[in-house]
Structure 1
Amino acid sequence: MFKGFYTVASGMISQQRKTEMLANNMANANTPGFKADQSSMRAFPEMLLQRFDQRKIPTENGLKLPFNTPVGPINTGVYMQEAIPKFIQGDLRETELHTDVALIDINIPANEENGLKGTVLFTVQHPNGDVRYTRNGNFTVDGEGFLTTAGGLYVLNERGGRIQLSGDKFTINSRGVLTGENGETARLGIGFAENPQRLIKEGDGLFRTEDGNELPNAYNADGVQFTVQQGFLERSNVDAAKTMTDMLTAYRAFEANQKVLQAYDRSMEKAANDIGRIG
């Protein structure tokens, strides 16, 4: 009986976490460069149930030998193993702002391990000094002339330095070369992740590497072809219609587990109050 409680509870918890993940996807449907998460569900190891019994041997003393009769396997529950970002490129939206930049994938090689395509990302500087990566090209120029993200992080150039401009009237060509009003030049830092699933997702559309090492320069990566488009933003790759359908499915699964839990609760109540009553 109690095994059923644990199984149902694990199902409710996993569906709740999936619903929270989908709700976060939906909330960021209009966030530039946002990569939707997709869940990975796994079942706990199965247990083989056996019935213990005795078999009487026809001897003078009536010998009895214990033996087990297999009943069958039982699953002990399910859990959401992880949320994996989906690195499919989102649609482009024209903004006509000089500070908005989008990365356009042209030919990105697939990873040999999992067959998934890699991705290219802008490099930015985290407040702790480490390098972070993002697809959100909604940039701005701060009071000191540094190119920053909307969240205030410094956008880095190809050599890992900050990009300082004389004003917000600058141009960026398809190869990421930025030219300011007074002729100053810099090249946007673009990193290439061969296996995007090894990137760890942080808040505000930021990613970091597992080992803390920087990604290789995308401009020099073999077989990687991409272009930089000024005046455009990459939209979120969240499919709003599919996300709503998945949320309803998760909610129905949670509700079904809830009804099973209520049935178990009523059975336990009868066992405690009615069956166990004396006189």
Structure 2
Amino acid sequence: MFKGFYTAASGMIAQQRRTELLTNNMANAETPGFKSDQSTIRSFPDMLMSAIDKEKVPTEDGLAVQTADTLGAVNAGLYMQEISANQMQGQLIQTDLTTDIALINGTLPVNEEGIQAAVFYLLQEENSEAQVYTRNGNFTLDGAGFLTAADGKYVLSADNEPIQVQTQNFRVNDRGQVFENDVLVAQIGVSVAENPDAQLLKQQNGVYYTANGENLQAADPNTYSMQQSFLEQSNVDAAKTMTDLMTAYRAFEANQKVLTAYDTSMQKAVSEIGRV
């Protein structure tokens, strides 16, 4: 009976975590460059139950041999195995702002495990040497003319230096080179993660940190391109996400009802059967 409690509770916990993931996707459906998270839910390995008994062997001393009769398998519930980001390219929209720059996937390499690499803008924390990464090209200029992300992080060049311009009348070509008055100012830095799920940890607003603290390698310019005055939209499918949310809610409620039924049965076992 108590195994039923654990099985239903594990299902509730798994669906609750899935609901939190899907809710976060919906909250970032309008965040430029945001990559939706995906979850994998699996069942725990089944437990094989056996009935232990003793069988007497007709010998002079009356030997008894222990036996185990297989009764069947018992499911131990569900758990969320892993969370991975969907690195599919989002749609591009035109904004006509020179500080908006969309990063477009080209022919990205695939490793031996069949995992496709992903490219990201290279950012730097203010007053820090730490590098972080993003797909959000919704940039702006601070008071000193430095190109920054929406949360104030500096956009770094291929030389790992903040990019500074004098006015918003600058031009970025498809290779990520920044020109002002037809003079090359900098090359926007782009890094590549050969295995994004293993190498990166996602934080707020689609910002990524490396899992081991080491900086990513620079990306080959032939594997990406850029388009100024455009933004890459989030790749969250709002309609599908809402459908998945409703499914997760219903699964949570179903497990909740099973848990309530078990609780009622246990109450009867204690209050009624125990009296007899």
TM-score computed with the length of structure 2 as normaliser:
0.94
Per-residue CA deviations over 1:223-263 (Å, capped at 9, x if unaligned) read x4221100000000011111111111111111111111011
Letter in 2 for 1:44: F
**Which residue of structure 1 lines up, in the alignment, with residue 174 of structure 2?**
174
Partner residue, 2:44: 44
1:118 paired to 2:117 = yes
Structure 2 SS opposite 1:138 = coil
Q: Distance in 2 between matches of 1:116 and 1:61?
A: 66
The size of the alignment, in residue pairs, is: 274
Percent identity between matched residues is 53
Q: 1:43-70 deviations in whole A, cap 9, x for unaligned?
A: 2233211111222334566554331111
Counterpart of 2:84 in 1: which secondary structure?
Answer: strand
Q: Note if contact 2:28-2:205 (Cα within 8 Å) is conserved in structure 1.
A: no
Question: Is 2:210 the counterpart of 1:209?
Answer: yes
User: Distance in 1 between the 2:195 and 2:103 partners?
Assistant: 18
Aligned to 1:79: 79
Q: SS in structure 1 opposite 2:205? A: coil
After superposition, what is the alpha-carbon deviation per residue over 1:81-134, rounded to whole angstroms, capped at 9, x for unaligned? 221111000000110100000011121122221x13211110000244210110
Q: What is the deviation of 1:201?
A: 1.1
How far apart, in 2, do the equivalents of 1:180 and 1:101 lie? 16
Q: Give secondary structure in 2 for the equivalent of 1:107.
A: coil
Q: Give the unaligned 5+ runs of structure 1.
A: none
| Cα separation, 1, equivalents of 2:271 and 2:146 | 72
Given candidates 243, 259, 271, the residue that maps to 2:269 is 271
Task: Extract structure 1 runs of 4+ deviating beyond 6 A.
Answer: none
SS in 1 for 2:129: coil
Counterpart for residue 247 of structure 1: 245
Mapped partners of 1:30, 1:107: distance in 2: 26
> Take 2:262 and 2:35, find their aligned partners in 1: how far apart are those partners?
40
Contact 2:31-2:205 within 8 A present in 1 as well: no
Per-residue deviation, 1:21: 0.3
| Unaligned stretches of 5+ residues in structure 2 | none
Q: 1:197 is matched with which residue?
A: 197
How far has the Cα of 1:6 moved from its partner? 0.9
The root-mean-square deviation of aligned C-alpha atoms, in Å, is 1.7
